[in-house]
Structure 1
């Protein structure tokens, strides 16, 4: 039996003991996980520094701070989330107990990504634990140091049988995907996403796919271009552009292109100094393979800002490209690096048309002081999320669902959405063996009169308070007696 098979079997066996279903156990595991990020922050930061050149403060800001918030919310709200959820009833079910009961799915496979290795791996794990599941955690092998830290630390803080960590590369992931899971949660690119979905289909396993795509950024002439470009530069160059919801390219009128370039250039200098390579807050490309991929995108475009690079250091300076054509190399795939192409459009309608010709993106950004522009962009496009006059920050709002649509993914998470995504929302109806007269209308022989009464009872939804329900029950008892006496006896 392979180590992957052993991990899945161990998680399954632990889940079948039933201990993960207890709310006390879930909260205890979440608190232990919370403690990990307090006690081992320096170890986490050191590993990410080696993998992505993130600073200590940057690691907390973009990796662990959000996780601490998610854990705190789950601990606070878990009893409410896990409780039965009453639903509206019709007259036929007024005397019944009708509710939704969230239940654990079973064993979840979580396949993390390398760009924010803790944030995008542990957030789904928080949801899995809160929902009462077991989970096999597969960190990305591309972040070598972080994967090792995760493998070492998680078993020290949370139940190592319920939540085993499996490290390794492609072959280990393929072996995991040959096993049967109750849900698979994958963060990465759409090419691998399709392979995940294909493997899951063999066992009819549901999937959550957090993918990516080319997230557009439209700048209207009617806005504060200085502030807009400052926020765009932050969203683009954070983590060296290796963010799934980074603004991929800018669409704007040609009349403001020079101003946009100048303002982005100013923001780059403000954030990362005249020499970003020596700035502690500017990251690195994850490895040389991705470095070469990004550099190749520059071939047929004009560099307006930046362009400096150092392969030995996996360094690419914050770069702006001007007068980019739709057929340029940089526009053929998600950039996932510090290149910011600018394409000219003559109107909002042209921008919308251009966006809609491509795959649906994970995020869409629009900068304008005109509410009508924002509304038209929202009403006439489709994307995983939409953000007006800022970048990235919707990811931090745990009351919003985060996820893609179409080619950018399926399913969503964060906060209660993580809990629901990794729960089976079981519909329950508890009926008593009484009031059979009302039920007689559904038994053969079927007649028009029975259909009439069925129509009345089934199509009338009710939302009454306790007193109203008691009064209605009394009335229904009388009605049932009359119906039974007049039509069925």
Structure 2
């Protein structure tokens, strides 16, 4: 087994050979990655089942399928994206032409989390491959079985001088090494550490973090449909989703009706006893289980609240009449507990959300166009949906990322290519014409400059 220093040296040498920059090489690498994912589909699903108790449907629709779709989208567009572009040239540079050359950063480090361990490891890698970089991937040790299958797929099919997975204790040393780009997905506290470590070498970074993503329900619209989409988005992966609705802000006039619809859909989706439902995901480990149980306030639970430590099960749980003083509102929940708050005026909602950290996602349910525009224009957040939850994440046409403490930078589709690409600006000057006004002595040439630069 090569040491980290050897792998990084090999990757640096391979990158400098220029092979990763070739369009054909990138496309072949993406095709090889896709084939190996398809060939190992069952093993990936088995690993996700062992780590999180995910059903095959969730494993494919939220992990494997997302990855394959991303590869297909980038394969179709990569030639266009990777081609240098000619752009306009101002009169001040007569006679010349201007071009933008996309080029890879070099050796990239991708650090991924445990909640969607396959998707959040591979989708950034797809962007890195497409841009022409070499990559080291550090998947989460918490999702042990999925990390092992990622290691198997990548390390057995790609040369370590190009792509290599590092797991276990060795991975802890990676942030002390010099990379050309770092892509991190995970918590805010670790994100701060990544940023501090990257500053040693002024390494550019993307931070995909999290936060408390609000879900606002207005009086105008199909409340039954709204409830259906909220329940799906909240309890998908047992709430262990960075863009899950973290808390519900419901207009006071329809709160009770909305709660009844939500309870009905929880029962419809997962049955009267979700613990017996094999399609309901479990909590990743005992540490996260204990953290979530500590957030429960039995006096405010109106539905659910059941749990089993032996099976790491927590039922879909609703807490009503929650305030910002409650402990559950002090951190991102990242589990199947939905606090419910009420409001009277939309201005109150805007002020409330804007008084806290900028969320990664925001969801607003309403048929009122003016209210929709108000929410979009007056609240800063990473991205989100109107009259749905989570689904903005699935579109390769929409950049995904946070703002403020919920992250910096974005990816998915073209933005994945952009993130791992430096755009080099080139001015090609003709030798046939050389206007004299820019050269000393200047004398009264300022009048000429004023006519041009205004």
TM-score range, shorter chain: over 0.9
Counting only pairs closer than 5 Å after superposition, residues 6-85 of structure 1 correspond to structure 2 as: 6-85=6-85
CA distance in 2, matches of 1:225, 1:322: 18
Aligned to 2:447: 452
Q: Is the 8 A contact 2:411 2:419 kept in 1?
A: yes
Deviation at 1:56, TM superposition (A): 1.4
Q: Is the 8 A contact 2:286 2:312 kept in 1?
A: yes
CA distance in 2, matches of 1:37, 1:361: 33
Q: Is the 8 A contact 1:47 1:149 kept in 2?
A: yes
Aligned to 1:474: none
The reply on whether 1:220 has 2:218 as its aligned counterpart is yes
Q: Is the 8 A contact 2:210 2:332 kept in 1?
A: yes
Counterparts in 2 of 1:455 and 1:161: CA distance versus 1, 3 Å: same
The reply on whether 1:189 has 2:187 as its aligned counterpart is yes
Aligned to 2:412: 414
CA distance in 2, matches of 1:85, 1:295: 54
Q: Is the 8 A contact 1:112 1:139 kept in 2?
A: yes
SS of the residue aligned with 2:226? helix
CA distance in 2, matches of 1:4, 1:260: 54
The reply on whether 1:242 has 2:237 as its aligned counterpart is no
Q: Is the 8 A contact 1:404 1:411 kept in 2?
A: yes
Q: Is the 8 A contact 1:378 1:386 kept in 2?
A: no
Deviation at 1:452, TM superposition (A): 2.8
User: Greater Rg, structure 1 or structure 2?
Assistant: 1
Deviation at 1:10, TM superposition (A): 2.5
- Residues 133-173 of structure 1 show CA distances to partners (whole Å, capped at 9, x for unaligned) of 0010111110000111111111233343211110015xx34
CA distance in 2, matches of 1:301, 1:64: 40
- Residues 306-347 of structure 1 show CA distances to partners (whole Å, capped at 9, x for unaligned) of 111001100000011100011101000000000000011111
Aligned to 2:283: 285
CA distance in 2, matches of 1:14, 1:445: 50
Deviation at 1:299, TM superposition (A): 3.1
CA distance in 2, matches of 1:398, 1:103: 21
CA distance in 1, matches of 2:262, 2:86: 52
Q: Is the 8 A contact 1:385 1:404 kept in 2?
A: yes
Q: Is the 8 A contact 1:29 1:159 kept in 2?
A: no
The reply on whether 1:154 has 2:149 as its aligned counterpart is no
Structure 1 alignment gaps of length 5 or more:
460-489
- Superposition TM-score, scaled by structure 2 size: 0.97
SS of the residue aligned with 1:164? strand
SS of the residue aligned with 1:44? helix
SS of the residue aligned with 2:280? coil
CA distance in 2, matches of 1:277, 1:329: 26
Counting only pairs closer than 5 Å after superposition, residues 129-148 of structure 1 correspond to structure 2 as: 129-148=129-148
Deviation at 1:300, TM superposition (A): 6.6
SS of the residue aligned with 2:254? helix
SS of the residue aligned with 1:109? strand
Aligned to 1:429: 427
Deviation at 1:196, TM superposition (A): 0.1
Deviation at 1:45, TM superposition (A): 0.3
Aligned to 1:476: none
Q: Is the 8 A contact 1:321 1:339 kept in 2?
A: yes
CA distance in 2, matches of 1:447, 1:225: 74
Structure 2 alignment gaps of length 5 or more:
none
Counting only pairs closer than 5 Å after superposition, residues 88-487 of structure 1 correspond to structure 2 as: 88-169=88-169, 172-299=170-297, 302-436=300-434, 438=435, 440-448=436-444, 450-458=445-453
Q: Is the 8 A contact 1:301 1:322 kept in 2?
A: no
Q: Is the 8 A contact 1:5 1:176 kept in 2?
A: no
CA distance in 2, matches of 1:230, 1:312: 30
CA distance in 1, matches of 2:408, 2:92: 36
- Residues 99-153 of structure 1 show CA distances to partners (whole Å, capped at 9, x for unaligned) of 1100010000000111001111111100000000001011111000011111111
Bigger Cα displacement from structure 2, 344-353 vs 289-298? 344-353
CA distance in 1, matches of 2:380, 2:171: 32
Deviation at 1:94, TM superposition (A): 4.5
CA distance in 2, matches of 1:159, 1:373: 53
Bigger Cα displacement from structure 2, 146-155 vs 192-201? 146-155
- Superposition TM-score, scaled by structure 1 size: 0.91
